[in-house]
Structure 1
């Protein structure tokens, strides 16, 4: 039976630096200062929303929603450098590839257009359910048409990716990059990890 590797999007396949630059401009900080504040906010459990409200209490986020949403649509230059090589190697090794993450409308279509060779591409906007809900991971198994124990889920968050994927019976792999990956990498780990997508093949044996 085919083994599946399903990838999260932001922080895993897509470097969301353009998104963070957009937020930094809105709150009047340099990208570096905003990233530092966001990391602190993540570690404090505030996430992006709580961090922005603290940095700019009077900011009407809704007024900028369209611009921010446009920044989340991935382009070729937003892909991490290891993405195309890693996915090609995994396909050549016989793995089926899925992409599924919490993303707004338009992202699935953009990822499909980038032609990463995935067997399926899906987002929370399409499914109407988000991680870490168990129903999201149930949809992953449905899309793969495979039992959960045949699925490896690669993510950058312990809360949204590793814990719920494991609870769903999948094998989670933690990739510590992006704001959440970097912040969560500072916590004691109970997760199997890889430092690059190029390390996945060896990690799976």
Structure 2
């Protein structure tokens, strides 16, 4: 089938999530001052390798013993992150040109477990006008990997799953649920993806890349 749409995750695909995970560490350390960054980073790398748990919940649970504080820690992280997240420094350098190249041949959408302000960051980066559909968890009340957020994007796009390529950095939250709905999938090996995926992980997506520079050619081949 001819590909008509490219659905992009935002964190890890368009912008680095580094400032979010720094914000989360700061929020955890404010609640549990004994937590060292090295331990936090080691747990984060283990989560990247496994690709099977929600990172935020797993990190907060691992380091904040009092469960009654978990919601407050997550909210604190979100507040810290909104002040610094997805700045120009976190925009992957190839993104504007690649999004323009994709938009010249396909319709482009974004599916993200984020807040509405992500649109503003895309506008600041100069490519928001190229995104035809936004499926944002904070607005829809549902998050990846729930199939409902993918279905919402498909409905708004008026697209059949077999005419869509989903591009993300999470095997469990982007690639697997999109593939289950019948989309083609591309796994981007950066940000929350492991540095060295296992052979078992590599057979899940239809293609893998380490930079979006490779993406237009791969989508054209689908």
Q: What's the TM-score once normalised by structure 1's chain length?
A: 0.85
Instruction: State the partner residue of 1:69.
Output: 78
CA distance in 2, matches of 1:44, 1:3: 28
Matched, 1:90 2:102: yes
Return the offset for 1:136. Answer: 1.4
Q: Secondary structure at the match of 1:6?
A: strand
Q: Secondary structure at the match of 1:40?
A: helix
Q: 2:5, 2:165 within 8 Å by CA — same for their partners in 1?
A: yes
Aligned CA RMSD, in angstroms, stands at 2.5
Q: 1:101, 1:122 within 8 Å by CA — same for their partners in 2?
A: yes
Return the offset for 1:183. Answer: 6.7
Q: How does 1:15-164 map to 2 (within 5 A)?
A: 15-25=16-26, 26-27=28-29, 28-30=35-37, 33-42=39-48, 43=50, 45-46=52-53, 47-58=55-66, 60-70=69-79, 71-72=81-82, 73-92=85-104, 94-116=105-127, 117-164=130-177
1:45 and 1:137, CA in 2 relative to 1: closer, same or farther beyond 3 A? closer
Structure 1 gaps of 5+ residues are none
Return the offset for 1:33. Answer: 4.4
Q: Secondary structure at the match of 1:149?
A: helix
1:33 and 1:15, CA in 2 relative to 1: closer, same or farther beyond 3 A? farther
Return the offset for 1:123. Answer: 0.6
Q: 2:112, 2:135 within 8 Å by CA — same for their partners in 1?
A: yes
1:51 and 1:66, CA in 2 relative to 1: closer, same or farther beyond 3 A? closer
Q: 1:39, 1:183 within 8 Å by CA — same for their partners in 2?
A: no
Q: 2:60, 2:73 within 8 Å by CA — same for their partners in 1?
A: no
CA distance in 2, matches of 1:168, 1:44: 19
Structure 2 gaps of 5+ residues are 30-34
Between 104-113 and 123-132, report the one with greater CA deviation.
104-113
